[in-house]
Structure formats: structure tokens, C-alpha cells
Amino acid sequence: MIYLKGHLARPLEGVLSAPSRLAVMRALFRAKSPCSGRALARVAGINHQAAAIALTALAKLGLVERRPSGRSDQWRIDRRRWLNSELLLPLLEREAEYAQAVVDEIKKTLRGKAAAVLVSGAAAKGGLAPGKPLELVVVEGLAGRAALGEALRGLAVLMRERWTLDLGVRVLSQREAARASSIENLWQLLPMEGPPSYFSAGTTAQR
């Protein structure tokens, strides 16, 4: 079946072969309404020219629609397309669940073992790069250092095998944590999620 080659066999290549196209599709997927090219560029984290080139390519593939609106065009995903409805949108939906699934795993594993768990470093600023470790600050709980250490070892294995993430963990006793108010760039997971409440002063939280 020679015809089952090229684009027929690899329709995803038109989107996934160019990071800017995937970034624009992701931005459109998350948008609540049609967006201008400049707005998409901001959300996608690319420059306006790259977004315009990506949108033109995606429009040629029939994956996005352009509608004139005043002085600018508005773009949206064409959900009638099989490639969108059956492949790309389900993929983007599952991708959107990835971070929360990682957080839920950390909470489940360390709840009862840690007094507090906080994301630190690049991830707390929304800038974790592929292949870089997810950094955590973990405060020892009432279960003790041995129980916490065992839980962290299991978590490290699970993160690597299930989520392809390496962990960088800094463990503090509660006394050490009380003196560590100058730690910066934290996002708290336990005992509750949000800006740091365990460290009362000197912290910054960015999401």
C-alpha cells in the first residue's frame, strides 16, 4: 500500500515537527475565545513573526481558522477536523493534566511524612526546562527523618519511571526551617497549596 506513506502515514509531523506550531496550537487550545496573532504569540511565548508563520502553516493544513475582525484577524482551532478532534485535542487535554498529576503524586506520597512540601527553583517560577530536576524543599514531619527519607526514595523512583522527572530535594528539620525565612521562589504544595505560608517571611512565590 504505497499510498500509505508521506502525509497520510505521518499527519502529525505537520504540527509536531515545528515547536512554534505546537506552541500556537497549545495556546489556541487554552484560549476561551478566538485570539489575535499577537495575543497568541504572548501566550505561546514566541515572537509575533514566528506566531504568524506558524499560523499560516497551520491554516494551510486546515487545522486553524482565520476570521477578519476589525484591524486584526482572529484565530481559532477548527474542531471539525479529524486530526484535531481525534488526535491533537485529546493530546493537549492529557498534556494539561500532567503537572497536576505530578503534584498529586508528590502530595499522596509525602502526606503524613512531611510537615511542608514546597516547589522551589525554576519550576516555582514556571521555567523548568526539559531534563532539569524538579526541586523540592521538604520539611521533616512528626513521622521522623527515617520515614521521610524512605518516602522520598520511593518518590524519586516513581517520578523517574512514571513521569520521567528527576528530583532535587532539600530536606530541613523544623528548626532549620524556622531559620530559613530567606528562601526565595517557592510554591507550597503541603499542608495546603498556594503561596508559602509555612515560611512566614522573606519568601517569594511565583506560579
Q: In this structure, what C-alpha cell is assigned to residue 28?
A: 489556541
pLDDT for res 173: 92
Q: Which residue has the higher pLDDT, 7 or 99?
A: 99
Which positions ≥6 away from 115 have C-beta within 8 Å? 139, 140, 141, 142, 174, 177, 191, 198
Which residue from 129, 99, 126, 96 is spatially nearest to 207, judged by alpha carbons?
A: 126
pLDDT at site 3: 65
Residue 167 has φ and ψ, to the nearest 5°, of -105, 145
CA distance 133 to 199: 23
Domain boundaries of the chain, sorted by first residue: 11-96, 98-190
pLDDT digits (tens, 9 = 90+) for 75-134: 999 999 999 999 999 999 999 999 999 999 999 999 999 999 999 999 998 889 999 999
Q: In this model, does residue 205 exceed pLDDT 50? A: no
pLDDT reported for residue 65: 96
- Domain 98-190: top CATH class: alpha beta
Reported as a pLDDT band with limits 50, 70 and 90, residue 195 is confident
DSSP state letters, 82-94: HIIIIIIHHHHHH
Q: What is the DSSP letter of 3?
A: T
Confidence at residue 78, expressed as pLDDT on a 0 to 100 scale: 97
135 burial (CB, 10 Å; 0-12 / 13-18 / 19+) is: buried
The CA angle 164-166-170, to the nearest 5 degrees, is: 155
Determine the pLDDT at residue 201.
Answer: 44
Model confidence over 149-193: pLDDT tens digits? 999 999 999 999 999 999 999 999 988 887 765 667 889 999 988
CATH topology of domain 11-96: Arc Repressor Mutant, subunit A (1.10.10)
Q: Write down the number of H helices and E strands in the chain.
A: 10, 7
